[in-house]
Amino acid sequence: MLNYTIRRLLQAIPLLIFISIILFTILHYMPGGPLAPYMQNPHITAADIARLKHNFGLDRPVWIQYVSWLGNYLKGDWGWSTMNSTPAKDAILERLPATLELMGLSYAVAIALGLVFGIIAAVKPYSLVDYFVTTFAFFGFSMPVFWFALMLQMLFSVKGFHWQAFGYAFDYSFPSAGMTSTEGGGFWDRVQHLVLPVLTLSMLLLATWSRFTRASMQEVLHTEYMRTAAAKGLPFMRILLKHGLKNALMPVVTITALSLPGLFSGAIVTESIFAWPGMGRLFIVALGQQDFALLMAYLVLSAILVVFFNLLADLAYGWLDPRVKYD
């Protein structure tokens, strides 16, 4: 197991280097390259550009630039963000917690609901719940995320709830933007700001995961060890959750890890709609400003996280299924 972990970690290194080479090359061909923001400034002459190019070492061959970028990256220098005039690393890491909060909560909500929906649908196939789950899943992954977010904003923020009954008036609307109110606000305020973005982002995952859990659980329900467990007279919930779920989880673990790149994409959209101060929104702004270092830092960091979680999923496999041999 330890050997396997180490070997997989070692395999991840060339993969990440490969990814960074591709990303570096692509970004390098951005017109103007890292100096693009200066190109549009009329006060900066061609001679200045040439001088900057030389100072930043941009007149060297691409591969040398890449090697020096890699060296700096490993040393913790992720380049200079021209947009913020700060190191790119600070700009990204400052936004990372907000994104992780959003993504982590969406992940948790989607896992919890996806498992519950999927299991119920599998246990009672062709029941009302099953039809609901299946239909919901199809709608979920056929829906443009940003439109779903817009509709949520329209219904719950712009329109809000206005009820009147028995002499009581109830007025509430969810905040449509930001992480907290402008005056700050405590825990409850943050929760209110989280509801709509988390709903948006978890919808994307929930659709796929509930369908996947259903399929996987149904397969497990028909196995002989489940029949044996039932024949032994074990209580139903115990058979379902102990013997069934653990086996049904295996493909689900894989799909949750594979969903991560999609989650980053979803977070970009969700964050820009709900003005969530995370990495994704920073990325969109950096794209408009052609901030080379920030774009590169974002792309590489998300790739590292994706590779890392895929590795974690592979290791979780061994924990769930002792038959998997790591050698």
Burial of 187 (0-12, 13-18, 19+ CB in 10 A): exposed
Q: Quote the least distance from Cβ 47 to another protein, whole Å.
A: 23
Q: Quote the least distance from Cβ 283 to another protein, whole Å.
A: 6
Selected from 1, 9, 13, 30, the binder of another protein by CB under 8 A is 30
- Helix orientation angle between 2-28 and 292-320, rounded to the nearest 10 degrees: 160
For 21, 31, 302, the CA distances from 60, given in Å and listed in that order, are 16, 16, 28
307 binds another protein (CB under 8 A): yes
- Range in contact with another protein (rule: CB under 8 A) among 86-94, 139-147, 162-170, 189-197: 139-147
Q: Report helix, strand or coil for 181.
A: strand
Q: Quote the least distance from Cβ 167 to another protein, whole Å.
A: 30
Q: Is 154 left (phi over 0), alpha (psi -120 to 50) or beta?
A: alpha
Q: Quote the least distance from Cβ 69 to another protein, whole Å.
A: 16
DSSP code of residue 35 = G
212 binds another protein (CB under 8 A): no
Residues touching another protein, count (CB under 8 A):
57
210 binds another protein (CB under 8 A): no
Selected from 58, 93, 129, 150, the binder of another protein by CB under 8 A is 150
Q: Quote the least distance from Cβ 172 to another protein, whole Å.
A: 18
195 binds another protein (CB under 8 A): no
CA 104, CA 281: separation in Å to the nearest integer?
A: 17
Selected from 98, 115, 145, 179, the binder of another protein by CB under 8 A is 145
151 versus 191: smaller Cβ distance to another protein: 151
Give start and end residues of each alpha helix (H) in the chain.
Answer: 2-28, 36-39, 46-56, 62-74, 88-123, 128-142, 145-152, 187-221, 224-231, 236-238, 246-258, 260-273, 279-289, 292-320
Q: Any idea what the Cα angle at residue 197 is, between residues 192 and 200, rounded to 5°?
A: 130
3-state secondary structure 63-87: HHHHHHHHHHHHCCCCCEECCCCEE
Interaction with another protein in 239-278: which residues (CB under 8 A)?
A: 261-262, 264-265, 268-269, 272-273
Q: Quote the least distance from Cβ 183 to another protein, whole Å.
A: 23
Binding residues vs another protein (CB under 8 A) = 14-15, 18-19, 22-23, 26-27, 29-32, 36, 123, 138-139, 141-148, 150-151, 153-154, 158, 221-224, 226-227, 230, 236, 261-262, 264-265, 268-269, 272-273, 283-284, 287, 290, 295, 298-299, 302-303, 306-307, 310
